Structure formats: structure tokens, C-alpha cells
Chain A
Amino acid sequence: MDWTALDLSLRLAAWTVAILLPVSILLGRFLAFRQFRGKALVEALVMLPLVLPPTVLGFYLLVTFGRNAPIGQAWAGLFGQPLVFSFQGLVLASILFNLPFAVLPAQRGFQAIPAEVREAAACCGMSPWRALWKVELPLAWPGVVTAMVLTFAHTLGEFGVVLMVGGSIPGETRTIAIAIYDRVQAFDTDAAAVMSAVLVTISLFTIATTFWLSARVGRRLG
């Protein structure tokens, strides 16, 4: 059992969730309520990581994070270390490939709020921020929680993009999914079995928790 890899995976998932939470709320809300030109394109871009092979996404990230690309250069100039094959690069990649999981459920959650309930919030004198906090989030939060749980579980399980962008540096980029792969390559089936079981348990637990939470919300409003 590679505890360093599990710790790294959990840290990666936590960072991804922390950064994607505001993105999920703001972008999900924006896409739910606003109509604008090119909305279909924006929605398609958010969805893209869902259908692209991880290798394609990983390849582009590798190219943009590299020393020769502006983003990679700027990062290296600012922090003195390259973005590829680093934990920071992994977080950035993780944020991008989790966008559909973080945004879509939240968007559905906000869309489920009747338009006149939002209008009522405004007519009660609530500013848009206050309405978001007092009315929209309490009603949309099952969607937001689902988004965050999916993001968390999906980050634990992501393999291809991590391998492309991060490689397998112990303590830096070797996540538990990569560690399992390494163990299998080394014919260490016992270690792979233990880690796989741990991953299944954690993922099952987090997803079961969301279902339980959303059922409770259903009763709360009933």
C-alpha cells in the first residue's frame, strides 16, 4: 500500500474541489440564468473533457504547460519551477478535466429554481449577492454538492491526464491510480488489489453520501 500516493490523491482532490467550488457556483449559475450569443459554444467547451480521450487533453496540457509555451514560461518565470511534472501542474490539469463534473450538476441545480422565486427574492429587496446566498444556494445546493462529490471522486480516479502531465514522481505526481498501474506493471498484484479496494471504498462512500444528502433535502422541502 502506497500511503504517499493516497495522500497525494486526496490532496489533489481537495485542492481541485476547493478551487472549482466557486467556479461551479458562478459559472453554473451564469449558464443557468443568462442567455447570450455563443452560449452553446461555451457549454460545449465545458463538456469537452467528458468526451475527449484523456490522452488528447493531456497532450494539449503538456504542450501549453511546457517551457516553450507562454503559460509554461510565465509559470516558470514566476515560481522558478516548471509546471509540467509538478503537483501544481497536476492541480491545473485536474481543474480543467473536472470542469464538466463541477459545472453541469450545479447548472441543473440553478435551472431548477423557478424564475418567479428568483424574481420574488429581488422584489423582497435582496441584492443579487444576498439572493444567491439566501435563496438560490439553499435551493440549488444539492446540485452544487453533487458537482463537488463527482469532482472529488473523479479526481481520485483520473489516470490518463495525470500520467501525461505529471508522470509518476513519488510524492509529487504519483497519484493512487498511477501507483496501482505501477504495481501491476511490477507484478505486485497484492499491493494493487489493496489500493484498488481502498479506492473503491472511498469513492463508494463519497457518492453514497451525496445520494443520502439529496434524499434528505427532498424531505426538507416536502
Chain B
Amino acid sequence: MTLEVMARAEAPIPLDADFRVAPGELLALVGHSGSGKTTLLRTIAGLWTPRTARVSVGGTQWLDTGARVNLPPHRRQAGLVFQNYALFPHMTAAQNVMAAMDRADPAEAGRILDLVNLRGLADRKPARLSGGQQQRVAVARALARRPLALLLDEPFSAVDRATREKLHGEIVALRAHLKMPVVLVTHDVNEAQLLADRMVVIEKGRQVSAGTTAEVMADTAALRAMGIRELAAMLPATVAEHLADGLTRLDTPAGPLFLPRIDAAPGVQVRVRIMAHDVILSRARPEGLSAQNILAGTVTRIVPGAGPGVMVHISLGAQEILARITRRAADQLGLQPGDGVHAILKSMSVARDHVAQPVTASDG
């Protein structure tokens, strides 16, 4: 059941977007606040109708302004998680979940609440739940409708950083159970890169870039819209061991990576977001350097930017990382595609929430 979305409008909210989301795929709509990404999500849910738009799931038309098809929200089988959750304040968690079912089924509600790690809180009203717990109820309520498309509107923006990391992990784990297309609206590029398979970048209502997260990251138009400082690559790694000095050693095909302690058992596969502006390049393997991480690779591509910088793609076996250095530095090193190079990364430059890991259980 693929979700297909097309929307065009000049006013009152300008829109120009066209994308598809495959079953089980998570697509992130990324853009600054006010860019129109939430309007696109509301268009899918039926809460907004642009002048010209088409929305269909698995061939079923929800909206086609040309053919005058426009199902109201309650007749579109979509699950929407609102930014502030919009829980029904007079209902318990379980009642909130059952409110989205055609026929209230307490056993099914309990099963869904278990799925989002809310066991034991079914009888609490929203006012007595923490922000993270409210978000989980909102996700459970959206899933209770057996949605053909799951829509998440900035679902992590109203919680603190620690809760956000935990909820990120839960969404990753939950995805194993989700067979429908998922659309995540976020202004946080890190979040999009951590969670999404593909990204659509929205700027002033216009879709400026679309593709896999790696493709979008290599797209200068996307970087202009998101901000060049968001340029980063996701490097897969395996947790090897937790060291006594508080660091965790990860193994990558290009060599070991030392990062501040990661809460994952040895053997767990993670992906590390490496910011391009944190990477230093050296032709020779450096000695006497404080940086702990030196990964050997090959330059595959050098893309000049609009300013004084260039973007260097470095292949590490099957993977690729990005480095953003000055044009002057690239010239001094005489870097050319095919050259061997060492990528240097400070351990401390990788933030805790830049590590994507599957989480299986959690509370709090």
C-alpha cells in the first residue's frame, strides 16, 4: 500500500511537493519551521485541502482535487500523532486508544499499549502522564486505527533531550511491527537521518530535494535549504567493548572508533552520525595527535560549495563519510579523487543523540 502525495498551491500557503512512500518505509519531511511540511502532513490526513492535490494509498484516492474527490479525515484511514499529542483529556490512556477503534476492544488496547511500553499506565488520564508517556499514548492511539499510513508531526519536539533519545530508540524498535508507510515531519536533520529511510526537504512549501538520506546529504540544494552545518554521514558500526575510561570502542570496516559511552551491549549494530565539519583530513597517518579516531579511506568526489568550503566524499570500504574543509586546505593537500586519505574525528565531537541504536525495551 504505497502512499502517493502531490500538492500544489500558490496561496494561502504555497506548496509544491510530489513524493511516494513505500509500505514499511519511513520518509522524513525536513524543513525549517514554517516551511509547509506540517501543511503537507495535514493535507494527507484531510485537515487541509490545497488548491491542487492528490493523495492516495494503495490506489485508493483520499483526495483528488481534479476529480473532486475529498474524503473527510474520519473516512481516511490515517493515524496522526500531533505535535502536542492532542490526547482526549477526559479519557484514560486505554480509553484514548480505544477511541480510535471502530469497536472498543480492551484486550487490543492493552496489546498496543504494551507495544509502546506503557504497560501498567492504561488507567491514567493524560494530565497524570509525563511528556514521553503522553507521546506513547498518542502513537498507540494512531496505531489503534490500523492506519494505512502513519503520520508523525514533530512527535519528539515537546520532550526533553534524554526522553527524546529514548523515544527515538522506541520508534526504531516499533518499526519492525509497522507494515504501513510512515511520514515523519521534523525540523531536526539529525532526527531525520537517524530514523528515516528517505528524506524530502521542504523550503517555503517547495520540495527542493528528495531521495535516500545519503542522497539528500550529497545534494547541494538540500544543504542550502537545511543549512550546510547539517552536512553529515551515517556510518554503521558494531559495539565492541566498553572501556574503563568511559569510552566505548566500536568496530568499523575502516578501523576502530572510540566514542563517549554508548548504552548498548557489545555486538549491537549502531549507526553513528558523523558531522562533516568535525572531520579533519590528512594525507599521512598523523602521529602525536589528541584525536582518537583515524579512519583510512579513499577520496571519491570533491564537490565545491558556494562559499570557501568544499565537500569531500571519502569511501571507507562499502561506506562513505563526508568531510567539509576549506578549498584552501583541499588545494594545499592537492586532493584528487582516488587519493588515499585519513579522516580524523575527535571522540568528543560525536554527541550521544547522534548514535542510532535499536532499543527493545524501556520504561519511564
Q: Interface on A for B, CB 8 Å cutoff?
A: 114, 116-117, 119-128, 131, 134-135, 138-139, 220-222
Contacts and interface: CB of A to CB of B under 8 A. Distances in A.
A119 B90 contact: no
B127 A123 contact: no
Main secondary structure of the interface of B (DSSP, over half): loop
B88 to A, nearest CB: 6
A124 B141 contact: yes
Nearest to A118: B86
Main secondary structure of the interface of A (DSSP, over half): helix
6 contacts: A116-B86, A119-B47, A120-B88, A121-B99, A124-B100, A125-B145
B145 A124 contact: yes
A122 B73 contact: yes
Contacts of A120: 80, 82, 86-88, 141
Contacts of B125: 221
A124 B141 CA distance: 8
Nearest to B146: A125
A126 B100 CA distance: 8
B227 interface: no
B90 A221 contact: yes
A1 B339 CA distance: 108
Contact of A119 (B79, B82, B99, B145): B82
A122 B74 contact: yes
B30 interface: no
Nearest to A221: B89
B27 interface: no
B74 A139 contact: no
Contacts of A135: 88, 99
Interface in B50-81: 72-75, 77-80
A116 B45 CA distance: 13
Contacts of B45: 119, 123
Contacts of A119: 45, 47, 73, 80, 82, 86
The 6 closest A-B pairs by CB, nearest first: A122-B73, A124-B100, A120-B86, A116-B86, A123-B80, A138-B90
B89 A127 contact: no
A121 to B, nearest CB: 8
Assign chain B's interface to a size class. 20 to 34
B84 interface: yes
A121 B79 CA distance: 11
Among B82, B141, B142, residue most surrounded by chain A Cβ atoms (within 10 Å): B82
Contact of B82 (A116, A125, A128, A221): A116
Nearest to A130: B74
Among B73, B87, B145, residue most surrounded by chain A Cβ atoms (within 10 Å): B73
Contacts of B84: 116
Given A117-B88, A119-B82, A120-B88, A126 B47 contact: no
A101 B79 CA distance: 39
B102 interface: yes
Contacts of A127: 74
Interface string B149-170: 0000000000000000000000
B86 A126 contact: no
Interface in B74-114: 74-75, 77-80, 82, 84, 86-90, 99-100, 102
A140 B125 CA distance: 18
Nearest to A141: B90
A194 B46 CA distance: 61
Nearest to B84: A116
A109 to B, nearest CB: 13
Nearest to A134: B99
B29 to A, nearest CB: 17
Given A221-B127, A222-B127, A123 B88 contact: no
A122 B99 CA distance: 11
A220 B89 CA distance: 9
A125 B100 CA distance: 6
A139 B88 CA distance: 9
A139 B78 contact: no
Contacts of B88: 117, 120-121, 134-135, 139
Contacts of A138: 90
Interface string B257-286: 000000000000000000000000000000
Contacts of B74: 122-128, 131
A124 B127 contact: no
Given A221-B125, A222-B127, A125 B77 contact: yes
Among B89, B142, B145, residue most surrounded by chain A Cβ atoms (within 10 Å): B89
A127 B76 CA distance: 11
Contacts of A134: 88, 99
A172 to B, nearest CB: 44
